[in-house]
Copies of this chain bind each other. A is one copy, B any other.
Amino acid sequence: MPEAGSTSSSPAGRESFGSRLGAAMAARGPLCVGIDPHPALLKDWGLTDDAAGLRRFSLTVLEAVGSLAAAVKPQVALYERHGSAGMAVLEEVLAAAAQAQVLTIADAKRGDIGSTMAAYADAWLRDGSSLAADSVTLSPYLGFESLRPALDLAADNGRGVFVLALTSNPEGASVQHVGGADSVARRIIEAAAAENSRYAGSLGSVGLVVGATVGSALTDLHLDLPSVRGPILAPGLGAQGATPADLRRTFGAAYPQVLGTSSRDILVAGPGAQGLRDAALRTLVGLRGE
């Protein structure tokens, strides 16, 4: 169980992830750009489906939008597809993002128990790890509390996590909605809220993944997202079906916590840097409500 929170900077001297992300969202707007080197996009960009293509794709996106977005989110599966060579590219992308001072969310959806979970935490959240990111996405099928080693290491290092809570894929309900008034999703959300009590400031470092197109499930399941006081990563903007206006409607009072995530909608505007920037800016304008 976390200790009662107090400061917003970690023992490592780094400000907490929640504070850093909150500042970036205030300064730039609540946009996270997914770096998703899908085989079809690589082809559209005239790149090869190998480590060299991955590298060019990823660094192009980063260079184009790294100064506009609050965060970038490399999709780990698409690097893992290329084995260790792909993971080496991901290491380079994470290092380049740190250099460019844009926050990173490694979209890895990892989850395990005990010393194995500690090893995943070590990979993604430890200072000095070649795969260290500002935050990582986690999957809680083994229980929210099984993620403890990552929650604690993140707190120690000024890094963060986003825990899968409620997703908009149709088959997600068969796990996440189970339990009625005390649903699986609700348990995850309440555990994240409790966890964020260790953090001062307006935004804790324990975020959630909640689909942009979950519709009325938030109210149907009586889910209280404002109480979480953590960032909400909302994938599904654009190509997958939600507009910024939908996001405001769906999240209501929790909208200030929402980090809208767009991947394909922006990436199809590449490979030219100006096209990528314009697409990101269009999305940002919508998210800011300008």
Contact = CB atoms under 8 A, between A and B. Distances in A.
Interface of A: 36, 38, 75, 77-78, 80-85, 87-88, 90-91, 109-117, 119-120, 122-123, 129-131, 139-146, 164, 167, 169-176, 178-179, 182-184, 187-188
Nearest to A186: B178
Given A83-B129, A87-B87, A169-B143, A112 B77 contact: yes
B84 A84 contact: yes
Contact of A172 (B146, B167, B172): B146
Nearest to A114: B169
Contact of A91 (B81, B83, B182): B83
Contacts of A113: 167, 169, 171-172
Contacts of A141: 111, 139-141, 164, 175-176
30 contacts: A75-B116, A77-B110, A77-B117, A77-B120, A78-B116, A78-B119, A80-B123, A81-B122, A81-B129, A82-B130, A83-B91, A84-B87, A84-B88, A84-B91, A84-B130, A109-B111, A139-B139, A140-B175, A141-B141, A141-B176, A143-B169, A143-B171, A143-B175, A143-B176, A144-B175, A146-B169, A146-B172, A178-B178, A178-B182, A178-B184
